[in-house]
Chain A
Amino acid sequence: MRGGTTFRKVSLGLLVAAIVGLATLPMIQRYATDGGFVTNSTLFNFTQMFMLIIVASSWNLTGGFTGYVDFGHGVWFGIGAYGTGVLMSKLGWPFPVAVAGAVAITVLAALLLGGPILRLRGPYFSIAMLATFVAVREIIRIVKPITGGGIGLTLPPYLNRPLFFYITLILAVVVVAFTWWLRRTQFGLTLIAIREDEIGADMRGINTTLHKITVFGLSAAITGLVGALWAYQNTFIDPDIVFVDSRTMDVIIAVILGGLGTVAGPVIGAVVLFWARDIIWANFLQFHLIVQGIVLIAIVLWVPEGIVGTFSDRSGGTTLGRLMSKRKGEPSSDEAVGSPDDEPRTVSS
């Protein structure tokens, strides 16, 4: 189809219009009679949606661009949430300082863990992250004096829905714009090179370890920031509500539904998933995780390109789309040359 630039201009215009439209919601609530159609729960829902967009975009940095698919991304959210929780309720720090502290703690944790974990690759990395998630949840349960263990922590209540709405809206715009920009920089191209052929990138003199740890820390920082905001918004945290297994799954589904390894994918996926889930929740609360599991399997098997990949005419497609059409043995992001599968597998005693 001709007229790609027109299409771009139109979609950019629509995007700006959508952001401006969203930004007026709290105003409507404030100045219209009886808040118009906007209620506190509308704002809350949108806040949650922005958070999903932000976390999905940050997950896409490691999972989509760099090819390191993280099955325990919720751990950064959890550390961010607990960082704020502990700093505010135990040390009495004010909110902005506590958030900064929480992000610093998350980045520190990511850098410490990233050293050893990023040496693993493919499925080993994915499962080591899943194990990190479960392990950190248990550690938080065990260190009762600091984290309150299973009883949890109560933060000073602060119910200001419009504030959280605006913070997360701005953050979502900034983070998505940042990933768009990053994808076009030398750094972003290097990440793609690592995904496509890590050994080759290494051979060409790229410091792959440094790039991987940087993007890992960056992704953790963004998610940790969301966790920190979430904790204060929720005013109560315990291991079970912060470290929910489904949180990581939400993020993964959002990204691959939209299109793994694309800039727009996480945004579109998060929006679609969020409202689809809202409908599922409203009608079949009990089934929602079952439905989500089915959706995940269905997307991977039948629509691996995601929404963006399916509706765009760009050649190349999304990361998952290319993986799905790829057989074992061919080099790809997931299985670099010399992966375990190149060895003959044996079953023996």
Chain B
Amino acid sequence: MDQLLQALVNGVMLGGFYAIMVLGFSIIWGVMGVINLAHGEFVMMGAYGAWILQESLGLDPLVSVFIVFPVMAAFGYAIQRLIINRIIERPHLISLLVTFGLASIISNVFKLLFTATPRSVEASIHGLWQVGPVTIPKTRSMILIAALIIMYSLHMFLKHTRLGKSIRAAAQNREAARIVGIEINKVYAITFAIAIGITAVAGVMVAPVQPVFPFMGPPLTLRAFAITALSGLGSIIGALFGGMLLGIIEVLLATFIPGIGTNVGIVSSFVILVIVLVVRPQGLFGGLKAATT
């Protein structure tokens, strides 16, 4: 029982990271219709950002967030203008191929710069809280809290600012958005920048609890895809619940099935994805329709 409770708590913590990690992927897909296979690589860049800032300036990840976000948002803006902008209105295959190439470039550039050696980042808030029979790692709970704060801010931004409303308008109907005078290309570039900024922040947050290496991206991309397909495109609350669900399932499997360790996470998310898409093509939260024939 205690073990189950502990597994659930760990699952929720992991789910917090997945939720913030998946947001950017979900928004880019929802607004631009681009499936970004380089998503995990942007998480990896954020994690390396945390490592570089700690090695050179001794910064805590919580501080690094405020440097990494604008830098990566600017990088995202440039990538959007250079590459993504050309593939927005194309069929999905094109965006898959292009971002697949982008992923290969980014991860191998990082391997070249920093070698494949796994790096670790220290957070100043670490240790454990003991609540009854359950131990709560402090760093992981910080990730969860940060995820909730970021999600709430993003929600307020999309609901109540002019730019946020333009983004939602562009997602709903690009032609109509254009007619009412929204500069759609600008909106796309800013959306991509914000999404990449948030994705990199997820990388900064996860750096203290996971080894940082150039090829950490692909499994994260696959999880992002699985969660988005489960929860619906561009849905913030869906990302939260989808992330939690996947986190809890992964931890439960790793806890109660002996001998499979943590690598099984990607296998379980894949199995869940295929089962859900085949059994319930519209996704758990009704986000996606007609994923199957």
Which residues of A are in contact with B by a Cβ distance under 8 Å? 69, 71, 116-117, 119-124, 126-128, 130-132, 134-135, 138-139, 141-142, 198-199, 202, 208, 245-246, 249, 252, 256, 286-287, 289-290, 292-297, 300-301, 320, 323-324, 326-328, 332-336, 338-349
Tell me if A346 and B291 are in contact (CB < 8 A).
no
14 new A-B pairs (CB below 8 Å) besides A246-B104, A320-B93?
Answer: A120-B278, A121-B292, A122-B92, A126-B93, A131-B222, A131-B270, A134-B218, A256-B97, A289-B104, A296-B98, A327-B90, A339-B290, A347-B31, A349-B159
Are A138 and B267 closer than 8 Å at their CB atoms? yes
Of the four ranges (under 10, 10 to 19, 20 to 34, 35 or more), the interface on chain B belongs to: 35 or more
Given A293-B108, A300-B94, A300-B98, verify A344-B274 contact (CB < 8 Å).
Answer: no
A128 x B290 contact (CB < 8 A) = no
> Quick one: which of B243-293 are within 8 Å of A by CB?
259-261, 263-264, 266-267, 269-271, 273-275, 277-278, 288-293
Q: Are A135 and B270 in contact (CB under 8 A)?
A: yes
A287 pairs with B112, CB closer than 8 A = yes
In the complex, chain A residues whose CB is within 8 Å of the CB of B269: 131
- Given A286-B112, A334-B91, A347-B158, CB of A297 within 8 Å of CB of B101: yes
Per a CB cutoff under 8 Å, which of A116, A245, A340 touches B290?
Answer: A340
Chain A residues lying within 8 Å of B103, measured Cβ to Cβ, are 293
Residues of the A chain whose Cβ atoms lie less than 8 Å from the Cβ of B292: 119-121, 124
Partner of B263, one of A142, A328, A338: A142
Given A131-B226, A249-B100, A297-B83, also A328-B91 (CB < 8 A): yes
The yes or no answer to B206 lying at the interface (CB within 8 A) is no
A22 to chain B, nearest CB (A): 31
Q: Name 8 A/B residue pairs within 8 A (Cβ), A-sorted.
A: A124-B277, A124-B291, A127-B35, A134-B266, A297-B83, A320-B93, A339-B290, A344-B173
> Is B70 part of the binding interface, using a Cβ–Cβ cutoff of 8 Å?
no
Point out the residues of chain A lying under 8 angstroms from B288, CB to CB.
340
Find out whether the CB atom of B263 lies under 8 angstroms from the CB atom of A116. Answer: no
Give residues of chain B (193-219) contacting chain A, Cβ–Cβ below 8 Å.
215, 218-219
Contacts known (A123-B35, A128-B277, A134-B266); A328 close to B237, Cβ less than 8 A: no
Is residue B102 contacting chain A, with contact meaning CB distance below 8 A? Answer: yes
Structural contact, A123 and B96, CB atoms closer than 8 A: yes
Taken residue by residue from 1 to 44, chain B's Cβ proximity to chain A (1 for < 8 Å, 0 otherwise) reads as 00000000000000000000000000100110101010000000
Within 8 Å by CB of B102, from A134, A293, A340, lies A293
| For the complex of A and B, 10 pairs with smallest distance between CB atoms | A296-B101, A293-B104, A293-B105, A347-B234, A131-B270, A334-B91, A293-B101, A123-B92, A289-B108, A297-B101
B171 beta carbon closer than 8 Å to chain A: yes
Q: Which residue on chain B has the smallest CB distance to residue A141?
A: B263
Given A124-B229, A124-B277, A297-B101 in contact, is the A335-B218 Cβ separation under 8 Å? no
Main secondary structure of the interface of A (DSSP, over half): helix
Q: Are B172 and A132 in contact (CB under 8 A)?
A: no
A residues within 8 A CB of B105? 289-290, 293-294, 297
Q: Within residues 167 to 205 of chain B, which ones have a CB less than 8 A from any CB in chain A?
A: 167-168, 171-173
**A328-B89 contact given A135-B267, A249-B100, CB 8 Å threshold:** yes
Residues in A with CB closer than 8 Å to B159 are 349
A129 to B91, CA, bound (A): 18
Least Cβ distance of B136 to chain A in Å? 27
Residues of B within 8 A of A119 (CB): 277-278, 292-293
Do A344 and B172 have beta carbons less than 8 Å apart? yes
Please report the C-alpha to C-alpha distance between residue A246 and residue B100 in the assembled complex, in whole angstroms.
11
Contact between chains at B97 and A127 (CB < 8 Å): no
B102–A324 CB distance below 8 A: no
Judge if B126 is at the interface, Cβ distance under 8 Å. no
**A249's closest neighbor in chain B, by CB?**
B104
Check if B219 sits within 8 Å of A345, measured CB to CB: no
Query: Is B143 on the interface with A (CB-CB < 8 A)?
Result: no
> Which residue on chain B has the smallest CB distance to residue A288?
B108
Q: How many whole Å from B54's CB to the nearest CB in chain A? A: 26
The residues of A that contact B35 with a CB separation of less than 8 Å are 123, 127
Whether B108 lies near A69 (C-beta < 8 A) is: no
B78 to chain A, nearest CB (A): 15
Are A294 and B96 in contact, CB atoms less than 8 angstroms apart?
no
Q: Does B138 count as interface, using CB distance less than 8 angstroms?
A: no
Q: Do B270 and A324 touch (CB < 8 A)?
A: no
Chain A hits for B218, CB < 8 A: 130, 134, 245
- Chain A residues with Cβ below 8 Å from B215 are 245
- Minimum CB–CB distance from A101 to chain B (whole Å) comes to 25
A272 to B173, CA, bound (A): 43
Contacts A326-B90, A338-B290 given; indicate if A290 touches B96 (C-beta within 8 A).
Answer: no
